[in-house]
Structure 1
Amino acid sequence: MKRLLKNGQLLIDGQIKTQDILIENDKIAAIGKLDGAQVNADDVFDAAGLFVSPGLVDVHVHYREPGQTDKETIKTGSLAAAHGGFTTVAAMPNVIPTPDTPERITAQIAKNKKDGAVHIVQYATITTDRGGDELVDFKALKAAGAFAFSNDGNGVQTSETMYEAMKQAAGLDMAVVAHAEDDSLTHGGVMHEGAASRELGLPGIPSVSETAQVARDVVLAQATGAHYHVCHVSSAATIQVVRAAKQAGVNVTAEVSPHHLLLSDDQITTDNAMLKMNPPLGSENDRQALIQGLLDGTIDMIATDHAPHTDAEKAQSMLKSPFGITGSETAFQELYTKFVKPGTFSLAQLINWMAVQPAKVFGLDNAGSLSVGQPADLAVFDLTTPYEIKTDDFLSMGHNSPFVGDTVYGGTQLTLVDGQVAYKR
């Protein structure tokens, strides 16, 4: 089948240019000013006035299947990703049972492929059942198709365990992707420890619980040569540690989540579980440091940490509600509206952080770019028409977003995965 996208606005060498894209046999066959009559396409999509992007890449999503399909399934989560313009995602291993053996990860990968609307790569755990100190069989899990190793949702508490994990991962040229949280410092907190938590009388989590583990881990990464990737960096102090480690030549990369760029704990004025996530929203100083960290290259990419929960769970107090918010269907739109339109970021920078860099850092050779011969993974966004974010429009089962009701730009009009329609407005 031949598919032709006409008159799209493409970023080429940092400049917006009007181009056509011909897709044939699931790959990009040509980019340029193409004669529609000569192409003789089976399907033509007029993208006049619309921005055509490489499919976005998200290295941090939670799909809850198996084990918690009342929150999300692989099908609904991946449809939500397509709705947001993502064509490749990396699924975290906090499902039940965890993909901590070759048999389990093989089954998980098969299920991802069967039910996924987008490309899904799968994390394996660092330790058995994502806790404790018993390491998984790294070599066997890599052979079975693991994308990288993570205990996301839990920090690895023991230095020796992380040191051994990094040594094994380094020997296999695999990344250790860390949720950094020292449990001995969190004290059952539900939001960032600061003026807002004290005002609300809610137990706080100090930022040092994140920073202390990152500081430990960059030293271990330097000693082992491992690629150490920090999930959802949230504090100014952590940025300083990562920046210093990079300057020292440590193989460390980092991601930031949209909500930490967009919100701070100043906005938590009531007991509102829609604003409960882990790590928690930091101070306004933290938020500004994260923005600067992206701009100066300390932070390498943006990842959503899409974490759906049921409406009933999130209707509870912050004391009882689970951590996490959804992000797949609002990330590009919120960031474009709040940062690109005012001029804080350029559109090219945003696409770099949401498509190019995640693919480059994690060696996803078939993702993150629009070029001839590459798989036809792309997203088409309307950057000029405002719309309101409504849960009725979500394809995710999770409605737990603090951005519902916001007016944004950048609505997804079309998402193609391997040249096939994964989402169309």
Structure 2
Amino acid sequence: MKVLIQNGHVLDPVTDRNGVYDVLVEDDKIVKVEKGITAEADKVIDAEGCYVMPGFVDLHVHFRDPGLEYKETLKTGGEAAVHGGVTTVCAMPNTKPVIDNGVKISEVQNRAKKESKTNVLQLGSVTIGQMGEDLADIKGMAREGCVGISEDGKSVMNASLYRRGMRAAKEAGMIVFAHCEDITMVEGGVMNADARAEELGLKGITNAVEDVIVARDILLAKETGVQLHLCHCSTADSVKMLREAKKDGIHVTGEVCPHHFILTSDDIISDDGNFKMNPPLRTQADVDALIEGLKDGTMDVIATDHAPHAAAEKNRSMKLASFGIVGLETSAALTYTELVDKGILTPMQMVEKMSTNPAKILGLTDKGSVSEGKTADLVIFDPRKEYEIDKNTFFSKGKNTPFHGWKVKGEVACTMVGGKVVYEGGQIID
């Protein structure tokens, strides 16, 4: 099948292409990017006034499948992804059962090929059952194509065990995705430790809970040589330490989520579980540091930490609510509105953070670029569209977002995965 995208503003950091071009797709590949393509096609898309970008690659999602399908499934998570222009995701392993061996990796990825509209890269856990006692089958997971390991939702608190896991990952050519949290220091906290927490009568989580593990993991990465990726960074000191680690030549990258570069704890005006996330919303000083890190390239990636929950688990006091919010269907619009439209990042930098850089981190040489020979994972993004985020339009089972009713600019108009249009005009395409 041939698809011709006409008159779109192509953004491609790999080739530095930044202008109006036509894009011809044949089967699953981009075969031509030129001005004025006249080839016949089975489908023609007029992208005038829109950006044509490589599909977004989200390094951090929770699809809850297997075992927690009442929150999300490979199918609904995939639909949420393509609604948000996300064509590849890394799914965290804290499912039931935990994904901790090659058989489980294979099962999920084979099912995802049949059930999900997006490409799913299933990550494995560092330890068996995420219990922090014995290493998972890291070699076995690597043999099944697993690109990385993570104890996401917690840190491996035994530094010696974690170091052995890093060495095994290094040997297998895998990435370590680090959720940096010293669980011994959380002490029942549910939001950032500051004046707003005191006003609401809620226990706080200090920045040090994140920072001490960031420091530890960077030092362990320096010793082992493993490729380390810091998930959902939220503090000014995390940015500072990552910046220094890069100067020191350590193989480490970092991501920021939209909620952490937009919201602060001051936005929590009542005891609302939809504002409960881990790590928590921090202060304006932290937000400013995260934004500066995105601007200067210290922070490589914008990811979502998409964490769907049932309504009953979120529509309650923060003391009782589950941690996490959904993000796949709002991240592009929020990034464009808060960073690009305000002149903080250029449109090309948005593509770097959401597509090209994460593809590079994963070693996906066929993705993250709108250029000849690459896989046709593409998103057409309309920067003119203004609207309010409505959680009731989400394809995800999770509606848990603090951004319901938030005014944004920029909308995903069409998503292609492997040359096939899978989302267009508000509809999932079968």
TM-score range, shorter chain: over 0.9
Counterparts of residues 385-404 of structure 1 (less than 5 Å): 385-404=385-404
Counterparts of residues 16-95 of structure 1 (less than 5 Å): 16-36=18-38, 39-95=39-95
Amino acid corresponding to residue 32 of structure 2 in structure 1: A
- Alpha-carbon distance in 2 for matches of 1:198, 1:391: 30
Note the C-alpha offset of 1:133.
2.0
Secondary structure at the aligned position of 1:313 is classed as: helix
Note the C-alpha offset of 1:392.
2.3
- Alpha-carbon distance in 2 for matches of 1:49, 1:245: 40
Amino acid corresponding to residue 207 of structure 2 in structure 1: S
Q: Deviations over 1:116-169 (max 9, x none)?
A: 101111101000011222001211110012120001001111111111111111
Note the C-alpha offset of 1:90.
0.7
Amino acid corresponding to residue 344 of structure 1 in structure 2: I
Secondary structure at the aligned position of 2:292 is classed as: helix
Contact 2:181/2:213, CA 8 A, preserved across alignment: yes
Query: What residue in structure 1 maps to residue 428 of structure 2?
Result: none
Counterparts of residues 348-359 of structure 1 (less than 5 Å): 348-359=348-359
Contact 1:131/1:154, CA 8 A, preserved across alignment: no
- Alpha-carbon distance in 2 for matches of 1:391, 1:137: 39
Contact 1:20/1:32, CA 8 A, preserved across alignment: yes
Q: Which 5+ residue runs of structure 1 have no aligned equivalent?
A: none
Contact 1:261/1:290, CA 8 A, preserved across alignment: yes
Contact 1:88/1:367, CA 8 A, preserved across alignment: no
Amino acid corresponding to residue 116 of structure 1 in structure 2: S
Pair 1:121 & 2:121 matched: yes
Query: What residue in structure 1 maps to residue 169 of structure 2?
Result: 169
Contact 1:9/1:49, CA 8 A, preserved across alignment: yes
- Alpha-carbon distance in 2 for matches of 1:14, 1:338: 24
TM-score (norm 1): 0.97
Counterparts of residues 201-216 of structure 1 (less than 5 Å): 201-216=201-216
Counterparts of residues 187-336 of structure 1 (less than 5 Å): 187-336=187-336
- Alpha-carbon distance in 1 for matches of 2:376, 2:251: 31
- Alpha-carbon distance in 1 for matches of 2:405, 2:292: 28
TM-score (norm 2): 0.96
Q: Which 5+ residue runs of structure 2 have no aligned equivalent?
A: 426-430
Contact 2:22/2:37, CA 8 A, preserved across alignment: no
- Alpha-carbon distance in 1 for matches of 2:187, 2:150: 23
Query: What residue in structure 2 maps to residue 419 of structure 1?
Result: 419
Contact 1:56/1:354, CA 8 A, preserved across alignment: yes
Pair 1:179 & 2:165 matched: no
Contact 1:265/1:282, CA 8 A, preserved across alignment: yes
Note the C-alpha offset of 1:35.
4.0
- Alpha-carbon distance in 1 for matches of 2:9, 2:239: 35
Amino acid corresponding to residue 109 of structure 1 in structure 2: Q
Contact 1:308/1:400, CA 8 A, preserved across alignment: yes
Q: Deviations over 1:81-139 (max 9, x none)?
A: 10001111111101111111111111111111111101111101000011222001211
Structure 1 residues 306 and 281, CA, compared in 2 at 3 Å: closer, same or farther?
A: same
Greater mean alpha carbon deviation, residues 169-178 or residues 319-328: 169-178
- Alpha-carbon distance in 2 for matches of 1:387, 1:275: 22
Contact 1:87/1:119, CA 8 A, preserved across alignment: yes
Q: Deviations over 1:222-257 (max 9, x none)?
A: 111111111100101122222222222211111111
Note the C-alpha offset of 1:33.
2.0
- Alpha-carbon distance in 2 for matches of 1:88, 1:298: 23
Amino acid corresponding to residue 88 of structure 1 in structure 2: T
CA RMSD of aligned residues (A): 1.2
Identity %: 43
- Alpha-carbon distance in 1 for matches of 2:348, 2:166: 34
Contact 1:131/1:151, CA 8 A, preserved across alignment: no
Structure 1 residues 145 and 15, CA, compared in 2 at 3 Å: closer, same or farther?
A: closer
- Alpha-carbon distance in 2 for matches of 1:416, 1:246: 34
Contact 1:156/1:180, CA 8 A, preserved across alignment: no
